[in-house]
Amino acid sequence: MASERNSPEIYIGGGSPQAQELAVKQGNCWLLLFDTPDKLRSRIKSIIEQGIEVGLRGSIIARPTREEAIEAAYSLISTGNNVQYNQNS
């Protein structure tokens, strides 16, 4: 824990209204997935005004080819971020 803090920081992740509300009531930071600046600006304005920090979460997908990377990205989306690894890679 940082010396300037007297309690652990709590990061709340999720894009739902419930996650946003929980971050405001119980957290120090609301974590969101990357999006365009215009979309993020409209979502986070009121959160920042309430004194809650906002963080962005993203993923880097590296594969030998672009096609394999795209396939892995779609796999993450379709499985709800439960990573499925190819035993042969």
| Same domain membership, residue 80 and residue 53 | no
**Greater pLDDT, 37 or 86:** 37
Pairwise CA distance, residues 20 & 43, whole Å: 10
| Same domain membership, residue 37 and residue 11 | yes
| Same domain membership, residue 82 and residue 47 | no
DSSP-assigned states of every residue in 53-74: EEEEE------SSHHHHHHHHH
Query: Residue 34 in 3-state DSSP?
Result: coil
Res 5 pLDDT > 60: yes
Instruction: Please indicate, yes or no, whether the overall pTM of this predicted structure exceeds 0.85.
Output: no
Res 30 pLDDT > 90: yes
pLDDT above 90 coverage of the chain, percent: 56
**pLDDT value of position 21:** 94
Residue type, 66: R
Longest dimension (CA), the chain: 49
Domain with 72 in it: 59-89
CB 47 within 8 A of CB 30: yes
Res 87 pLDDT > 70: no
